[in-house]
Structure 1
Amino acid sequence: MGMRQVSATRVINAAPGVIFDLLADPAKHPVIDGSGTVVAAVGEEGRRLKLGDRFGMDMKMGLPYKIRNTVVEFEEGRLIAWRHFYGHRWRWQLKDLGDGRTEVTETFDWSTARIGLLLEWVRFPGKNLKSIRATLERLDKMFPAPA
């Protein structure tokens, strides 16, 4: 991990394609979000993201706001990342374990942010790591281990 990145990894009991479909559908982001800040996709119902796509989200961190993201990394079934106007990225990497399970890594990367020092000053990296872990926990609960 780089100096301006935090991430967490978890093995999820679902195939990479199933998980990628959730990540590539902005309307599903509130379902998996562990931060409690993602409220809803703005006009994104039924849309599947690809490289270069822009998508809007209704957010709430104390006060409600809207954010516009751009997909900046994309490999079908393996990698998707988006950034917003300040430049920091949310990256998802999926590794097929070959047995119906997937190793999922979510990363908050502020190495490309225009306000990197401000993000550190307000302690976003640590808060975001906590949220990443909560998101992976939610994802894990969506796909329980077979009995």
Structure 2
Amino acid sequence: MSDSVLVDATPEAVFDLLADPRKHPLIDGSGTVTGELRAPERLSLDAKFGMRMKRGLPYRVTNRVVEWEENRRIAWRNLFPHRWRYELEPEGDRTRVTETYDYSRLLPGVVSRTGVPKENLASIRTTLERLKDHFATAAD
């Protein structure tokens, strides 16, 4: 499940934001990310970072970076095998950002019959709009 948006920023600038877990609440479209708990200043492959979350009740989650290509791709997962992935493609002086919620490592047939994919697609779209707005505001 994925969607993309064209952002008025370089891939390096977008990647810097994504590689800083302290900034994830700024762009989170799910409304569940409330802040970082434990994290390095900049993520890297295999880096672990804890996040404070809230979905009804507050909880904590530890993620691990499982895909990393500097300025092109970053993905993380938590205890479960699904992944959140961002892929960046330069388009002139802008960047095409594609966010994917990859649940193919779960039981896709079961997951697809729940409301999770539709809900996550809405969250992806909101996240991408917030990301786009973040860089539009920074340029003003």
Counterpart of 2:23, as a letter, is K
TM-score by length of 1: 0.88
Is 2:19 aligned against 1:24?
Answer: yes
Map 1:46-65 onto structure 2 (within 5 A). Answer: 47-65=41-59
Aligned partners of 2:55, 2:111: CA distance in 1, in Å?
14
Identify, as 1 or 2, the structure richer in helix: 2
Map 1:42-81 onto structure 2 (within 5 A). Answer: 42-44=37-39, 47-81=41-75
Aligned partners of 1:70, 1:121: CA distance in 2, in Å?
27
Aligned to 2:120: 128
Number of aligned residue pairs: 139
Aligned to 1:3: none
1:141 to 110, 123, 133: 133
Match of 1:106, SS state, is strand
Match of 1:143, SS state, is helix
Counterpart of 2:43, as a letter, is L
CA deviations 1:66-114 (Å, max 9, x no partner) are: 1111100000000000011111000000001132x0000000000112x
Identity rate of aligned residues, in percent?
50
Counterpart of 2:50, as a letter, is G
Structure 2, unaligned stretches of length 5 or more?
Answer: none
1:111 to 100, 104, 121: 104
The Cα shift of 1:47 comes to 1.1
Q: 4+ residue runs of structure 1 moved beyond 4 angstroms? A: 115-118
Q: What RMSD in Å do the two structures reach over aligned CA positions?
A: 1.7
Match of 1:49, SS state, is coil
